[in-house]
Amino acid sequence: MVSALYPGSFDPVTRGHLDLVERALPLFDRLTVAVAANSSKSATFTPDERVAMLKEVLPQDPRVSVTTFRGLVVDFCQQRGIGAILRGIRTVSDFEYEYQMALTNRALNGAVESVFVMPSEEYAYLSSTLIR
């Protein structure tokens, strides 16, 4: 069974996030969508509000769960027995950042693999920052 973690701020949740979840479901047996509870960032919505929004709009699929997390993504994966981190790649600058993060995560825990998925064309330039 292959489980994946889709971590993010989801502040706010966008159709691009939902698109990525739908694209990931055929690839994984289980998908955990995890809202980062990072107190150093200024957020529009609380972590609990973001979890509630995600639960409302995500597909009602028993393979999908939503939670919050603190700390390192790879530590969360290790604690939960998750073997992959799902990340969306919209632009070249996204790739550069995500590639650095993937290499860092691999150095911290080589058992967790990063999987990059491209969005549908209609969501390629959509971001939470633009929505805010």
Q: Is 41 a catalytic residue?
A: yes
Pick the catalytic residue: 3, 90, 106, 127? 90
Q: Is 106 a catalytic residue?
A: no
Q: Is 17 a catalytic residue?
A: yes
**Percent of the chain at pLDDT above 90?**
74
Pick the catalytic residue: 39, 40, 41, 42? 41
Name every residue whose Cβ is closer than 8 Å to that of residue 54 and which is 6 or more positions away in sequence: 10, 13, 17, 33, 35, 66
Query: Does domain 3-131 sit in CATH 3.50.50.60?
Result: no
pTM of the shown model? 0.89
pLDDT digits (tens, 9 = 90+) for 65-103: 999 999 999 999 999 999 999 999 988 888 999 999 999
Name every residue whose Cβ is closer than 8 Å to that of residue 91 and which is 6 or more positions away in sequence: 124, 125
Average pLDDT score, the chain: 90
**Domain boundaries in the chain?**
3-131
Name every residue whose Cβ is closer than 8 Å to that of residue 13 and which is 6 or more positions away in sequence: 50, 53, 54, 57, 128
Token output for 118:
């491209």
